Amino acid sequence: MDEDVGKQKIDEELGVFINPKTDFGFHRVFSNQKMMISFLNEVVMPEEKTCGQITSVSYLPSEHFGELEDEHHVIFDTRCRTGEGEDVVVEMQNARPMNFGSRLIFYSTYPIRSQAPPRKRKRKGKNGKKPQKWYYDLKAVYMVAIVNFPMLKGKKTKDIVIDWVRLMSVKTKQCFSDKLNFVIVDLTKFNKEESELKTLQDCWLYTLKHAEKLKERPKKIKNKLFIDLYECILQTNKLTQEEMEIYNKSVIEMKNLGLFTDYAKMEGIEIGRIEGIGIGEKRGIEIGRNEGIGIGRSEGIGIGEKRGIEITQIQTVIAAANKGISLEDISDFTGLSVKQIYKILSNKK
């Protein structure tokens, strides 16, 4: 009885549907072959004019080690291979990590290198003939990043929900190779309401962005696959107690992620520094004017600059702390001791 009450309480806290942007929700949705095939056909491949419909996928190991023992290894969210032999890696990223673009490029090297046949030291094969020479006949690789932050900024990209990045000639704008493809699915730029959903692509994007906030399956979504998605895969009441606890932990980790990435720390410190400098300069000038009365304009400005620097440090500390930056990181950036920072924060009111 107590177990049922506990499950009901967690159900109420987490909502009707699982958040597909969490690690738990992502794997629950995309480990299903039908869902993965639909997502690739409706969201990823429509931009690829030369690619036909994907009819089958096979999942590959998500963890990949380097060729050397001490070489870096990667863990993909999910990796699969289409019936045509093309590799597709799908990643979900809710908070901007450091050098995310470079990370995607690095990740792409693994499925590319895995296409090379194993090196054969013997000149002849088992049948006495020379092994067939490999001519770098690569299959296409698709690195799909579903992001919950604006990865590409600027006026030209503000309305682009799905963007493709390929190797191309800078001068002629012609494609250099279609073997390496980066597909950015930016959920922050998808702004359609339920009443505006028309295509299966719309349904996928709407579900990925809003599922955990919904009380029932959107009435505009009537496709059988999506009915199964909402009623069988995403409903929290379909989870066991153990699965519910794992999902709850996944939700907490997702909420905390944005505060603890290296990018977030640096961004918070920089915002704090800029805000602190602005406030410090303004107040420093005011103090300089007040204290400068009677001792001359130049001396007043000098005092103002000195006091402005002090105030800048205080405002930087407060702004950075409000962004969730640790005292140690603030100390490294400002040069103040942890004790001094603690004193500033204790007296900030």
Domain residue spans of the chain: 2-115+137-260, 262-346
pLDDT of residue 49: 60
Q: Which residue is associated with the tokens 């400098």?
A: 277
pLDDT of residue 262: 45
How confident is the model over 265-304, as pLDDT tens digits? 444 445 455 555 555 556 555 554 555 444 444 444 444 4
**Which stretches of the chain score pLDDT less than 50?**
1-3, 5-11, 68-69, 259-269, 271, 288, 292-306, 308-309
8 Å CB contact between 11 and 236:
yes
pLDDT of residue 308: 47
What is the residue-averaged pLDDT of the chain?
A: 79
Burial class for 131, CB neighbours closer than 10 Å (0-12, 13-18, 19+) = middle
Q: Dihedral angle at the C-alpha atoms of 226, 230, 231, 235, nearest 10 degrees?
A: 160
Q: How far is CA 22 from CA 95, 123, 148, in A?
A: 12, 50, 11
Report the number of secondary-structure helices (H) and strands (E) in the chain: 11, 8
Structure tokens at 129: 């003939």
pLDDT of residue 346: 74
pTM above 0.75, yes or no: no
8 Å CB contact between 233 and 217:
no
H-state helical runs in 161-296? 200-210, 224-228, 241-260, 262-292
Distance CA 345, CA 334 (A): 14
pLDDT of residue 127: 60
Q: What is the 3-state secondary structure (H, E, C) of 107-175?
A: HHHHHHHCCCCCCCCCCCCCCCCCCCCCCCCCCCEEEEEEECCCCCCCHHHCCCCEEEEEEECCCCCCE
pLDDT of residue 133: 80
SS3 of 190, please? Answer: coil
